[in-house]
Amino acid sequence: MSLNAPARAGTGHPVSKAGARRGATLAFAVQGLSVAAVYTTVPAVTEHLNLAPLLTTAVMVAVALTAGGGSFLGLAAIRRVGPVATMRGAMLTAAATLVLIGRASDEATVICAYILFGLAVGALDIGVNTRAAAIERAYGRSIFGSFYTAWSVGGVVAALLTAGVARLEWPVAAGLSAEAGIVLLLAVCMRTHALPSPAGPSDTLARPPLGRRLWIRLIPFGLVLLVVYVVDSTVSAWSAVYLRQTLAASLTVAPLAYAAYQAGTVVGRAATDRLVQRFGAVAVVNTAALLVAGALAGMAAAPSWPFAVLAAGAVGLGASVLAPLCLASAARLRPAASEMVLARLNLFNYVGVITGGAVSGLLGSTGRFRLAYAVPAALALLLLAAARHFTQPSARPVRRATLPSSGQAPPPVG
């Protein structure tokens, strides 16, 4: 064996921080693409199957509910097979459900497909965030934003593909099948890399219980996630419907608000890590909260769809930094049990998605979509109170692993 060959963990996977980061980046891109594929095709699926507005709202809420359950299924899978295998399985399931949603011929089939998608994306969510937290610890600096940049790029690709399919007047099944093919390709391309073990005793073998004090410390992050995902679900799940129903946009134009929102998040998340290193997490969170509040107010008052598209992009620019910084700060509260912390923190995520999706859908079905964007604008200002709880990673990266001796159990590989 060459002396320059990469070190290998006990399971035979090469030890590589860069390789692990590339794999996680692909998984985040898949999650963003899958979610965007579902949300941007809601108007087309609704019109294709002639679904009632209230049923559409109920289905979107069901997706959020099942995603919450899927995150705990993902947690169980992580403990059994590791985060990488969990991510890969969830990605393959998501690809299958996209095809099923597009080819559903009746209400019962499409509802089952949406519910299965919720389970898959929930499991993928906890998998990617657990893996990202471990990789950031290995680097010893803020890199969470780069992962969510990939999430947003995937969302932009899916939204533009949906718009293109509508422009060509192809059936919705064609677009969803193409997006499923991209998901499948990325899942196949993802490789497994072990992370270097931390210096000293491995903290991944210890699973200390999450005490009451930790729950109290999680509350500010939970409230931030709740508000962020109220905003996110209001824009993501309903912006296409808002443009279609309230601003009289065509099916070709309707997905562009989601595309602009995700394009804004690409720019914001690409700059997140550098902004945190230069100005600090607290200043970045405060600025983002003010931008989100102003942009949502602009979206609520938009006189036509071009203004709504621009406002959606500004919302994405501000909201983009909040979730990754929130998850990264929370994971640092208990590094030895980060997957447990993130699974519980995700409860606030899905409460926000359910609340935002349900309220926006109900207001939209009664013709008051503008109010659905005005209310989250006020909520965004509450984030200013939680900004002081955000932290930054230490500057010490994890050292390269030494190979375990024959009598020592290898560290878990995700």
Compute CA distances 172 → 30, 121, 161, 168, 233, whole Å.
19, 20, 11, 11, 22
pLDDT of residue 233: 78
Q: Is 393's pLDDT higher than 70?
A: no
Q: Is the model more confident about 276 or about 398?
A: 276
Amino acid, single-letter form, for residue 237: A
Q: Is 412's pLDDT higher than 70?
A: no
Q: Is 47's pLDDT higher than 80?
A: yes
**CB distance 83 to 127 below 8 Å:** yes
Q: Tokens in use for 120?
A: 């898959």
The residue assigned the tokens 């065509």 is 250
Instruction: In whole angstroms, give the CA distance from residue 337 to residue 345.
Output: 12
Q: Is 311's pLDDT higher than 90?
A: yes
pLDDT of residue 407: 38
pLDDT of residue 383: 86
Q: Is 248's pLDDT higher than 70?
A: yes
Q: Tokens in use for 302?
A: 């938009």
pTM higher than 0.95 = no
The full DSSP string for 32-62 is HHHHHHHHHTHHHHHHHHT--HHHHHHHHHH
Instruction: In whole angstroms, give the CA distance from residue 114 to residue 101.
Output: 7
The residue assigned the tokens 């990325």 is 186
pLDDT of residue 405: 37
Instruction: In whole angstroms, give the CA distance from residue 19 to residue 96.
Output: 27
Q: Tokens in use for 228?
A: 């962020």
Q: Is 408's pLDDT higher than 50?
A: no
Q: Is 6's pLDDT higher than 60?
A: no
What mean pLDDT do residues 13-38 have?
A: 86
Q: Is the model more confident about 212 or about 296?
A: 296
Q: Tokens in use for 315?
A: 């919302």
User: In sequence order, what are the beta bridge partners of 8?
Assistant: 14
pLDDT in tens, 99-119: 999 999 999 999 999 999 999
pLDDT in tens, 64-92: 788 878 888 888 898 888 888 899 999 99
pLDDT of residue 339: 67
pLDDT of residue 208: 54
Q: Is 380's pLDDT higher than 70?
A: yes
pLDDT in tens, 189-235: 887 777 776 543 334 444 555 556 777 777 888 888 888 888 887 88
The full DSSP string for 263-317 is HHHHHHHHHHHHHHHHH-HHHHHHHHHHHHHHHHHHHHT-SSHHHHHHHHHHHHH
pLDDT in tens, 318-376: 988 888 888 778 777 776 666 677 767 767 766 776 777 677 767 766 667 788 888 88
pLDDT of residue 400: 44
